[in-house]
Structure 1
Amino acid sequence: MTARVLVVDDIPTNVKLLSARLTAEYFDVLEASNGADAIEICKRGECDLVLLDVMMPEMDGFETCQRLKTDPKTQHIPIVMVTALDQPSDKVRGLEAGADDFLTKPVDDVQLMARVKSLARLKSLTDELRARAITGQAIAIEDIIDMTAGVNAEGGKILLVDSDAHNARRLMETLDQEHDVTHLTTPEDVAFRLAESDFELVIVSMALEGIDPLRVCSQIRTLEHSKNLPIILVADIPDKPKVVRGLELGVNDFILRPVERNELAARVRTQVRRYRYSSELRKSLSSTVAMAVIDGLTGLYNRRYFDRHMCVQMDKAREGNKSLGLMMLDIDFFKSVNDTHGHAAGDEVLREFSSRLQRNIRGVDLACRYGGEEFVVMMPGADLHRAKNIAERIRNAIASEPFDTGITVPLDITVSVGISINELPDDTPDQMLKRADIALYRAKREGRNRIVYDAA
């Protein structure tokens, strides 16, 4: 893994030292000597992670961090604060300013690389989610910013995995004040407990009895419903080599005993907030993907989706030497519905038509709104006989019962259908669509409310 790391410190010697360590691990390193320059570099999108010194003139690290985390353009960039200050209150202040982690000078190489690698992985995932949710889709970045701006870390649902009741009780005394904590004393049951509830964070003790704590973490990462859950390890100093291994497995953070209460609380808040932010991005991604391929009025797939999926089905049919049927449907005299009864009534007709269409095709068939009052149905494995039967079932379902729009009197609606089949060895989607379209217009010319097949 490589990433672009911005080192921010007003002392050149410190910058060069950290840069050398990171470069040796194949990270690309950028440098800044003050908070203002660091903010500009981050706004330009030139870095994936920031190592930020606290003690700087003019704008200290706390203020720099807070500005970065409150700016929608930079709030997703992980920040590790680096300082000679060793008071727990300083760590808490940094974490509450929005820092994702905290390192104390002199910086331990193992901890430095473990933190950087873990946060670089997180940044990579976040970038992918942000890009998918924004690029080329119908939602603006402002919508995502508004949605994620209010993410907080209160009332997190936490699973604490610790076989030692005394140690667990001390942790829960801190966390229970702000979160809903479930204590699990039997680590082998972690999969069942995670399936029972929507947890937002798992805390795993490294001092589990009878089971490797990293095996528990690995199990959490392999389960579909918990693979994205943040994990914090609670470890003793001799556990550091295994902690590094845990971070490589996907553990998000760790804290060493003796556990400082305020630091634990701050780290937990950071992980819960980050998880909720990622969850909102995932929801946005799901929503915008739907917006990109689903017709908002009818709930059917749209033309963009059909065009792409038709190519996939054509290739599969050709490889398997199988039939592929296609029908184009056009609602008869739809313009007069809009002109006579209004567009609201027309919209209701389109919705009801789509519903009847869906109910009368097979499960493997794909129905799409192609545009306006025109629809297409792709029928994998359908020869001409089967395609005609499906088309007739649809035609009858449309014509047999008036459409009740709730706006005007029930309307008699019919549909004209054109069919094509993949008959040629080198048939293409465009050729099939053209033949179905020609057949559809023949159906219109010959009196509507009928099905016409056009041979190749």
Structure 2
Amino acid sequence: MQDPSPIRPTILLAEPDKEAAGHLAGMLTNWKYTVEMIEDGAECFRRLLAPDAPTIAILDNNLPAMKGIEVIAEIKRRTRPYHAWMMLLSHAPDHEVVTLAMNACVDDFLLKPVNEVDLLVRVRTAERVQHFYREMQEQTNSLHFRVSHDPLTGLLNREATMRQLFQETDRAQRLRTPLCVMLLDLDGFSEINHQYGYAAGDAILKELTQRLKRYMRSYDVLGRCGSDDFLIGLPGCTTEQAIALARRLQQSVLSKPYHIHRDVIPATVSIGIANSRGRLPLVVFREAESALMKARIAGPGNIHPFELPASLVPAS
């Protein structure tokens, strides 16, 4: 059964005339809206910039400290993905006020004295517009997430991971700091899928993701780059530090079996490591792949760093 009393949004009412403000607030409250009342334009401006700002605002044009049109213009000028729906409250406006309001991108006008039916229609319209905008924003955010993230693990996909590595490479070049890339591969993953089923394989990938996320720093880059391949970008890490981290991962995180339903599934991870040295991430990624291949050849659970030929090692 549909709720007959839906939750109404909060409305910011900026009106310096206490009697007029009380009259408007009374009507809005009767229609189940929560009302925040402000008398000062500068305070209204600060409130509308807050992360939890009301989604609908009614501003009198003659606010002290900052006129209603000025507040609206400044809010609209800010580069924010989401604004409150802002109505300008004024007596019959002249041509100059109308022009200023249009330039300020005012969403709607309310003329004094405010007619109750007119106020209700405009507030309901504002509510529907904001609801529609939120739905569109949620769909856009969801689409952006699906485009850049792996649907199984929720990690960055290969393309998004490489974009992050390009950014980290630029930062490493500017700051002259080290950057390493670590490529992880589940040993014998195809055999695990064959023996325990693809659902168990998916569950292992998700559990491995959680293990890695708990161990990574907030600024590390972590993404899924293949069916069972994970890439980690380690800003500030030298090759020696990356090797030490890989060993700790092997001992404390990656060597533990996976408890999937009633099965206890052993699984190991091979790791290849490459040093960025400020070079293109695609080149470094290929070196990490080469190191990973040698780790696999050495046997399950091995770690192998890529080593440049001596003739190509930069002089210190």
Please tell me the TM-score bracket, short chain as reference. Answer: 0.7 to 0.9
Equivalent AA in structure 2 for residue 228 of structure 1: H
Identity, in percent, stands at 27
SS in 2 for 1:269: helix
Equivalent AA in structure 1 for residue 223 of structure 2: C
Displacement after TM superposition at 1:194 (Å): 7.8
1:340 and 2:195 matched: yes
- Residue 429 of structure 1 aligns with which residue? 281
Equivalent AA in structure 1 for residue 281 of structure 2: P
Identify which of 16, 27, 31 aligns with 1:163: 16
Where relative contact order (Cα < 8 A, 6+ residues apart) is larger, the structure is 2
Single out whichever of 440-449 and 428-437 deviates more from structure 2: 428-437
1:235 and 2:90 matched: yes
Equivalent AA in structure 1 for residue 284 of structure 2: M
TM-score of the superposed pair, with normalisation by structure 2: 0.83
Note closer, same or farther for the CA distance 1:208–1:198 as it changes in structure 2 (3 Å cut): closer
1:300 and 2:155 matched: yes
Note closer, same or farther for the CA distance 1:303–1:236 as it changes in structure 2 (3 Å cut): same
For the 8 Å contact 1:235–1:243, the answer to whether it is kept is no
Q: How does 1:284-363 map to 2 (within 5 A)?
A: 284-363=139-218
Q: How many residues align?
A: 301
SS in 2 for 1:410: strand
Equivalent AA in structure 2 for residue 416 of structure 1: S
For the 8 Å contact 2:48–2:75, the answer to whether it is kept is no
For the 8 Å contact 1:221–1:227, the answer to whether it is kept is no
Identify which of 285, 288, 296 aligns with 1:444: 296
- Residue 8 of structure 1 aligns with which residue? none
Displacement after TM superposition at 1:317 (Å): 2.6
- Residue 383 of structure 1 aligns with which residue? 238
- Residue 74 of structure 1 aligns with which residue? none
Equivalent AA in structure 1 for residue 138 of structure 2: K
SS in 2 for 1:377: strand
Note closer, same or farther for the CA distance 1:202–1:368 as it changes in structure 2 (3 Å cut): same
State the alpha-carbon separation in 2 of the partners of residues 271 and 163 from structure 1.
Answer: 22
Give the aligned CA root-mean-square deviation in angstroms: 2.9
Equivalent AA in structure 1 for residue 302 of structure 2: R
Structure 1: gaps spanning 5 or more residues: 1-152
- Residue 401 of structure 1 aligns with which residue? 256
Deviations 1:402-450 (A, max 9, x none): 2222x13322221000111124x7x322221111111111111111211
TM-score of the superposed pair, with normalisation by structure 1: 0.59
- Residue 418 of structure 1 aligns with which residue? 272
SS in 1 for 2:233: strand
Note closer, same or farther for the CA distance 1:290–1:248 as it changes in structure 2 (3 Å cut): same
Displacement after TM superposition at 1:220 (Å): 5.0
State the alpha-carbon separation in 2 of the partners of residues 350 and 232 from structure 1.
Answer: 51
For the 8 Å contact 2:47–2:53, the answer to whether it is kept is no
State the alpha-carbon separation in 2 of the partners of residues 237 and 399 from structure 1.
Answer: 72
SS in 2 for 1:433: helix
Equivalent AA in structure 2 for residue 433 of structure 1: F
Structure 2: gaps spanning 5 or more residues: 1-5, 309-316
Displacement after TM superposition at 1:221 (Å): 4.8
Displacement after TM superposition at 1:238 (Å): 5.0
